[in-house]
Chains A and B, each alone.
Chain A
Amino acid sequence: MFFDWGVVAYAAPLLAHGVVMTLQVSIVAGILGLAIGLLTGLASLSGIRAIEILVRAYVDFVRGTPLLIQIFLVFFALPVVGLRLPEYWAGVAALAINSGAYIAEVVRGAVGSVEKGQSEAALSIGMVRRQVLWWVLMPQAWRPMVPSLTNDLITLTKNSSLLSVISVYELTRAGQAIISTHFAPFEIYLLLAIYYYLLIAALTWASRRLERSLPTW
């Protein structure tokens, strides 16, 4: 089999631009997703029934439909209701909405698994639910959340390659552009795989460090 090293040498630096874009999309969508997930996750523990049902519906919808369809929905359907987002922001929004739902479940799970006696002790000194969540349950839920959150952020980073379908010029799209002019799909997709792998490896390493730096009791 012929492996075209020339194309690899040519593409490797060109793809760096795509890497930056992938990083940027993932970081922005990750931050938004964390915010959405944290808010909706806590909201689902608020004890207010209407809010809990809304969050449930949101999570169910995201889990029950393909991300690709969600991206198309944000990109093509929102303009119909008068909200026209450029490709970049439509993509970021779709990714954030998607990961936010999974993160909401992580938050709900971690906060819910703090031992019941903790809530009771907090109630017994006169706290209301909101205070129990904020002062007693959340501080204890951070550390157990980190591994699951890392998984969600890894998934998000990999999922960002789907934004190529709405022409966001991230890593996958950049690779496809080279393939279309040089026709070397094997070399380029292999190169893309390596780039993604390195990104995820860096993310995993950072998360391990973060987890170690969080206090245990």
Chain B
Amino acid sequence: MVMPPALLTIRSISKRFGDRTVLEGINLDVRQGETVTIIGASGSGKTTLLRCINWLERPDHGDVRIANEIIGRTLDGRAASEGELARQRRHFGFVFQRFNLFPHLTALENVALGPRRVLGVSRAVAEARAIKELARVRLEEHLHKRPSQLSGGQQQRVAIARALAMDPSIILFDEPTSALDPELVQEVLDAMRGLAAEGMTMVVVTHEMRFARGVADRVVFMADGSIVEEGPPGIIFENPQDPRLQRFLRHLEPAST
């Protein structure tokens, strides 16, 4: 089988906070339409890796390459200006653990803000787009509610719609269900499953092993700032090699598999 070329290429990313090394020589490729989940104990560097991909966190070394561009650098190799970096960030949608919706705006305005102010389309076009994306995550009934009037699961779906409205090539999810009450987890996972089925490329940091097992094309296990094992979920979960992965899965067993 011929593999399509990678859409996202991460090469030897390293990141330190003070004298603590959080990421060490990370390499990862993500292909168009793929869903990759990143699992690992807390403190293993998963979230930092995700934040380094769209440069919310600036990596100390290494390259993030998408669609022939290197994030943080112009085509002729200079350091990207603020505006150029902002444009490059639009390759990625980002869904935060704590939603980070704009509390002063309605669901509709939250989603329309990017198209309106960043892409510069008219208000009517921005709102039409927002309505479409909110319908896609089944929130068409809640367009005019503020985040504080929505449940956690609904808020996270608004956040997904906000990311979708910018036409990203890849959506990055940072533990999207970790801040949710258990009964609200499913609606968010369903929305994500729907996106995966539509062929959206996604990188998902998650503790939801059922999602990792059932939806991911590939599972990446991180420990101590490195990727120690990766592969299809069947192999990662049924036949783990690295002792740290074996221990990690054993500890999870009773709770979430």
Q: Are B100 and A123 in contact (CB under 8 A)?
A: no
Is B186 at the interface (CB under 8 A from chain A)?
no
| Cβ of B16 to closest chain A Cβ, rounded Å | 20
Is A109 at the interface (CB under 8 A from chain B)?
no
Is B54 at the interface (CB under 8 A from chain A)?
yes
Is A120 at the interface (CB under 8 A from chain B)?
yes
Give how many A-B residue pairs fall within 8 Å (CB-CB): 68
Chain A, residues 106-136, CB within 8 Å of chain B (1/0): the string is 0000000001011011111111110100011
Is A3 at the interface (CB under 8 A from chain B)?
no
Number of interface residues of A (CB under 8 A): 21
Q: Which residue of A lies closest to B89 (CB)?
A: A126
Could you tell me the distance between the alpha carbons of A47 and B54 in the complex, rounded to whole angstroms? 20
Q: A118-B102, A215-B104, A217-B147 are in contact. Are A125 and B96 (CB under 8 A)?
A: no
Could you tell me the distance between the alpha carbons of A36 and B212 in the complex, rounded to whole angstroms? 54
Q: Which residue of A lies closest to B57 (CB)?
A: A120
Q: Which residue of A lies closest to B54 (CB)?
A: A124
Could you tell me the distance between the alpha carbons of A47 and B87 in the complex, rounded to whole angstroms? 18
Could you tell me the distance between the alpha carbons of A115 and B147 in the complex, rounded to whole angstroms? 15
| Cβ of A13 to closest chain B Cβ, rounded Å | 48
Q: Which residue of A lies closest to B82 (CB)?
A: A128
User: Across the interface, which residues of A come within 8 angstroms of B163, CB to CB?
Assistant: 124-125
In B89-131, which residues have CB < 8 Å from any A CB? Answer: 89-90, 92-94, 96, 98, 100-104, 113-114, 117-118
Is B254 at the interface (CB under 8 A from chain A)?
no
Q: Are B114 and A126 in contact (CB under 8 A)?
A: yes
Q: Are A125 and B146 in contact (CB under 8 A)?
A: no
A121, A124, A131, A215: the one within 8 Å of B117 (CB): A131
Is A139 at the interface (CB under 8 A from chain B)?
yes
Interface of A is mostly: helix
User: Across the interface, which residues of A come within 8 angstroms of B98, CB to CB?
Assistant: 117
User: Across the interface, which residues of A come within 8 angstroms of B102, CB to CB?
Assistant: 118, 121-122, 136, 140
Q: Are B146 and A124 in contact (CB under 8 A)?
A: no
Q: A135-B117, A136-B102 are in contact. Are A123 and B89 (CB under 8 A)?
A: yes
Is B166 at the interface (CB under 8 A from chain A)?
yes
In B126-157, which residues have CB < 8 Å from any A CB? Answer: 146-148
Q: Are B148 and A124 in contact (CB under 8 A)?
A: no
Could you tell me the distance between the alpha carbons of A126 and B102 in the complex, rounded to whole angstroms? 15
Q: Are A135 and B113 in contact (CB under 8 A)?
A: yes
A120, A125, A140: the one within 8 Å of B162 (CB): A125
In A128-187, which residues have CB < 8 Å from any B CB? Answer: 128-129, 131, 135-136, 139-140
What 19 new A-B contacts, CB under 8 Å, besides A123-B86, A125-B93, A217-B104?
Answer: A117-B96, A120-B100, A121-B94, A121-B102, A123-B89, A124-B56, A124-B89, A124-B92, A124-B94, A124-B163, A125-B90, A125-B166, A128-B86, A129-B82, A131-B118, A136-B102, A139-B104, A140-B102, A215-B104
Closest 8 CB pairs of A and B: A125-B114, A124-B94, A121-B100, A117-B100, A217-B103, A126-B90, A126-B118, A128-B86
Contact surface of B with A, Cβ cutoff 8 Å: 54, 56, 82-83, 86-87, 89-90, 92-94, 96, 98, 100-104, 113-114, 117-118, 146-148, 159, 162-163, 166
